[in-house]
Amino acid sequence: VVTRIYLDFAATTPARPEAVEAMQPFFSEFGANPSSLHTEGRAAKAALDAARDCVARLLGARANEVVFTSGGSEADTLALAGTARALRSSGRRHIVSTEIEHHAVLHTLDALREDGWEITLLPVDKTGAVDPAAFEAALRPDTALASIMYANNEIGTVAPIAELAAIAHRHGVLFHTDAVQAPAYLPLHVQALGIDMLSLAAHKFGGPKGAGALFVRAGTPLAALLPGGGQEFGKRAGTENVAAISGLACALDLAVRERAETGARVSALRDWFEEEVMRRIPDVRVNGAGRRIAHITNLSILGLETEPLLLRLDLDGVAVSSGSACASGALEPSHVIAALRLETRWMQGVLRFSFGRTTTKAEVHRAVEVLEAAVAHQRSSTPAFQTKRIGE
């Protein structure tokens, strides 16, 4: 039996037992609709309020600035499309973002472009960093909103959010950040960050899938995309998923309290992993160097294709992710890797390893061994790689 080693925490994290326990009562004895006026409904409402107070406290926000959603994608979509709807008659028609945002942002921007919005996607440098001066230069008198992710989910690059938000505000532009990868590793205080909107997804920090939140600073123009019954301060209708929201609040509380300790441990494991890989495997690069979040490492392995390598690792018990999306049968570099504008040969053989709270040194050690063996094996059977080596 092959022991499984899960190194895909950026894709999702297992729900923490404490979060599962926090959710349990809302499937049974406290299962009423929080909008109901009877005793049972008020008990559910009290739990919802408690979860909202908890999230608000952890973000440094007010309770009525926290809107619960079905996850990170919905939070991102609400931030962008909700603001765009609210500002459609304002005369402002321009939004600034970056080439390396999650598809939750990029595809929403595509839809807004079809609705007549002008979108500027800023390029990034080879490390995935956005240049604050280029950001400022992209802002125009008719720019309504900027959206820049806190930490990139493929390469881990961390953007200087407080600096960028301050620049946006100097130009009267609203600022949203997709902080979906951040909670377990980076400070989330919305006053220190100075942002207007911030997206979260519970399953990235030990909470359940299908629950998220959008911080919306009081006074930020935002129209509901689901107007329905007026829940969530009229910003997102639908009977609240009290169980999942309680799990989200519990997991966020733990993530924030344990952040310093988890961050130090996980970044040490990640750094050690990279050192070992560089020492033992020739012709490998780490993508996205610079200021990076603790849990993500993205490698380019020269001369190899991503998919066979990923499947080999999987057979040997190591679960990782590709930095590539499969388009029309051909493996093409993901939009994030493409945005780094690396030489073509470094845009293949891209793998993302992402570590988590429960990752052990023994697992990381084993993952290096498995990767080393898989790379050696695939290279020995890749004539193209041998030719390339000779040609260098």
Ligand X SMILES: Cc1ncc(COP(=O)(O)O)c(C=O)c1O
**Residue closer to ligand X, measured from CB, 104 or 302:** 104
Chain residue whose CB lies nearest ligand X: 72
- Which one from 326, 362, 373, 384 is the annotated catalytic residue? 326
Query: Considering the rule CB under 6 A, would residue 295 count as an interface residue with ligand X?
Result: no
Which residue in this structure is represented by tokens 């022991």?
A: 3
Residue range at the interface with ligand X (CB under 6 A); choices 71-79, 122-130, 247-255, 327-335? 71-79
Site string for ligand X, 171-210 (x = CB under 6 A): -------x-xx-------------------x---------
In whole angstroms, give the CA distance from residue 84 to residue 87.
Answer: 5
On whether the CB atoms of residues 297 and 266 are closer than 8 A, the answer is no
> What pairing do the DSSP bridges indicate for beta strands 94-98 and 118-122?
parallel
Query: Considering the rule CB under 6 A, would residue 73 count as an interface residue with ligand X?
Result: yes
Query: Considering the rule CB under 6 A, would residue 214 count as an interface residue with ligand X?
Result: no
Reduce the secondary structure of the chain to three states and give it as a string. CCCCEECECCCCCCCCHHHHHHHHHHHCCCCCCCCCCCHHHHHHHHHHHHHHHHHHHHHCCCHHHEEEECCHHHHHHHHHHHHHHHCCCCCCCEEEEECCCCHHHHHHHHHHHHCCCEEEEECCCCCCCCCHHHHHHHCCCCEEEEECCCECCCCCEECCHHHHHHHHHHCCCEEEEECCCCCCCCCCCHHHHCCCEEEEEHHHCCCCCCCEEEEECCCCCCCCCCCCCCCHHHCCCCCCCHHHHHHHHHHHHHHHHCHHHHHHHHHHHHHHHHHHHHHHCCCEEEECCCCECCCEEEEEECCCCHHHHHHHHHHCCEECEECEEEECCEEEECHHHHHCCCCHHHHCCEEEEECCCCCCHHHHHHHHHHHHHHHHHHHHCCHHHHHHHHHC
**Residue closer to ligand X, measured from CB, 204 or 312:** 204
Q: Least Å distance between CB 38 and ligand X?
A: 33
Query: Considering the rule CB under 6 A, would residue 81 count as an interface residue with ligand X?
Result: no
Q: Least Å distance between CB 188 and ligand X?
A: 14
Query: Considering the rule CB under 6 A, would residue 212 count as an interface residue with ligand X?
Result: yes
* 54 assigned to active site: no
Could you say which of 58, 106, 148, 149 contacts ligand X (CB under 6 A)? 149
**Residue closer to ligand X, measured from CB, 152 or 246:** 152
**Residue closer to ligand X, measured from CB, 150 or 385:** 150
Could you say which of 77, 153, 321, 322 contacts ligand X (CB under 6 A)? 153
Query: Considering the rule CB under 6 A, would residue 71 count as an interface residue with ligand X?
Result: yes
**Residue closer to ligand X, measured from CB, 244 or 281:** 244
Query: Considering the rule CB under 6 A, would residue 363 count as an interface residue with ligand X?
Result: no
Which residue in this structure is represented by tokens 């600035």?
A: 65
Q: Least Å distance between CB 213 and ligand X?
A: 11
**Residue closer to ligand X, measured from CB, 71 or 356:** 71
Query: Considering the rule CB under 6 A, would residue 302 count as an interface residue with ligand X?
Result: no
Q: Which of residues 12-51 bind ligand X (CB under 6 A)?
A: none
Q: Least Å distance between CB 199 and ligand X?
A: 7
Other Cβ atoms closer than 10 A to 225? 16
Q: Least Å distance between CB 149 and ligand X?
A: 6
Q: Least Å distance between CB 206 and ligand X?
A: 13
Q: Least Å distance between CB 236 and ligand X?
A: 14
**Residue closer to ligand X, measured from CB, 175 or 385:** 175
In whole angstroms, give the CA distance from residue 61 to residue 56.
Answer: 5
Query: Considering the rule CB under 6 A, would residue 104 count as an interface residue with ligand X?
Result: yes
Cite the active site residues.
326
- Residue ranges in contact with ligand X by CB under 6 A: 71-73, 76, 102, 104, 149, 153, 178, 180-181, 201, 212
